[in-house]
Amino acid sequence: MSKCKVLVIGSNADRIETQGGGWGKTGHYLNETVVPAMAVIEAGYEVVLATPDGTKMTLDPASDVPAHFGGDEAAYKRGRQFWDSDPVMTNVRTLKSVIDEGLDNYSGVFIPGGQAPVTDLMQDAELRTILQHFHEKSKPTAMLCHGPISATAAMPHAREFRASLIAGDPQKAQEWAKGWQYTGYKMTVFTASEEKYIEDNILKAKLYFNMPDALNLAGGEVIINPTDFAPHVIEDRELITGQNPASDHPIAAKLVAALARANG
């Protein structure tokens, strides 16, 4: 019998703006999504997936390899099967329907990475409602890799904040960030040097801003592991953030432990 519900929130983006007016293909990382989700289910929780428009997330092809599962082919196949056919991943809700149902039904929330959240989630008004609820109720709120940029959705002026970042106006971005509920929180996120590897080798283009600078401008206290692609997780109050794909198992463990504490 399931203990309680945990909300997993995904993006519907399949492309991201790049400097010079271009677009790069994007999505969510396989391991970053399925490893924590499967760990939460294994711990006895019911997982509900929701996206802004209620359709399934796009899989970032760069993540669709056993290397992101420690080279374990069997673990990769289990993860891919979960992504492809598990009811958790195929019965997708809209963010609005989850809000309308009542957020008191959920004990925790998790947002995986891949660059997709940098487009829609970080400025989504319905995500703002969700994050405000989990913040006010001190419920575990976990975000991995690029996922932590979604925390900016909780700003009163998230769209303006993102637009200022795209425009290269950090002073304006700081002004729009006032009133952010995570100001002063310790957190981590995919680093600029880690992003450079993706820009150079996968996107073949540069993004308009990097994630640590954005969260620092917003008022967060960003702490990074200087070793690229090494596991790193930060927990501060209800917020649990992981730096990169290698942080999938560590953030899953932190989230499961936080859920256990929250549920007695």
Q: What is the 3-state secondary structure (H, E, C) of 22-86?
A: EEEECCECHHHHHHHHHHHHHCCCEEEEEECCCCCCCECHHHCCHHHHCCCHHHHHHHHHHHHHC
Residue 207, pLDDT above cutoff 70: yes
Q: Which residue has the tokens 């010079």?
A: 20
Instruction: Report the C-alpha dihedral over residues 110, 66, 91, 260, rounded to 10 degrees.
Output: -40
Q: Which of the listed CATH numbers 3.40.50.880, 2.60.40.650, 1.10.150.20, 3.40.50.280 matches domain 5-262?
A: 3.40.50.880
Residue 2, pLDDT above cutoff 90: no
Give which of 52, 30, 49 is closest to 41, Cα–Cα. Answer: 49
Threshold 0.75, pTM exceeds:
yes
Region 24-51 average pLDDT: 97
Bridge partners, 5 (sequence order): 46, 106
Q: Which two tokens stand for residue 236?
A: 């501060």
The bridge status of strand 239-242 relative to strand 233-236 is antiparallel
pLDDT tens digit sequence for 97-125: 999 999 999 999 999 999 999 999 999 99
> 261: exposed, middle or buried (C-beta count within 10 Å: 0-12, 13-18, 19+)?
exposed
Region 241-256 average pLDDT: 98
Give the percent of the chain with pLDDT over 90: 98
pLDDT tens digit sequence for 42-88: 999 999 999 999 999 999 999 999 999 999 999 999 999 999 999 99
Residue 205 DSSP one-character state: S
pLDDT of 145: 98
Residue 152, pLDDT above cutoff 90: yes
Give which of 182, 119, 121, 115 is closest to 146, Cα–Cα. Answer: 115
pLDDT of 218: 98
pLDDT of 3: 67
Q: Which two tokens stand for residue 83?
A: 């992504």
pLDDT of 202: 93
Question: Domain limits of the chain?
Answer: 5-262
pLDDT confidence tier of residue 130, bands split at 50, 70 and 90: very high
pLDDT of 1: 37
